[in-house]
């Protein structure tokens, strides 16, 4: 079943600074974070994924990828 059809992967991020660092390829902190950023960029490319910024108010998932609704959260 796997391998018959490619799936488009989109990673939504609501962190503007992290999105900017991903796009520029330059970490805004130390050399350790530069290595982490380069690894992340590499993995996104391997997946063929797109990274898209989304406003936090429109983001329907929290850090644990649970559905997050205004005023509450669904487990």
Q: How would you classify residue 44: left for phi > 0, otherwise alpha for psi between -120 and 50, otherwise beta? A: alpha
Average pLDDT over residues 11-23: 88
pTM for this prediction: 0.64
User: E strand or H helix at 72, and its extent?
Assistant: strand 72-73
Q: Is the pLDDT of residue 25 over 60?
A: yes
Average the pLDDT over 40-65 and give the result.
Answer: 83
Average pLDDT over residues 27-56: 89
Judge whether residue 74 has pLDDT over 60: no
């Amino acid at each position: 079943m796997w391998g018959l059809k490619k799936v488009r992967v989109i990673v939504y991020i609501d962190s503007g600074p992290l999105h900017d660092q991903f796009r520029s390829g330059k970490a805004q902190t130390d050399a350790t974070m530069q290595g982490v950023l380069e690894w992340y960029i590499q993995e996104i490319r391997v997946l063929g994924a797109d990274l898209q910024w989304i406003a936090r108010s429109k983001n329907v998932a929290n850090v644990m990828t649970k559905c997050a609704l205004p005023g509450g959260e669904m487990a």
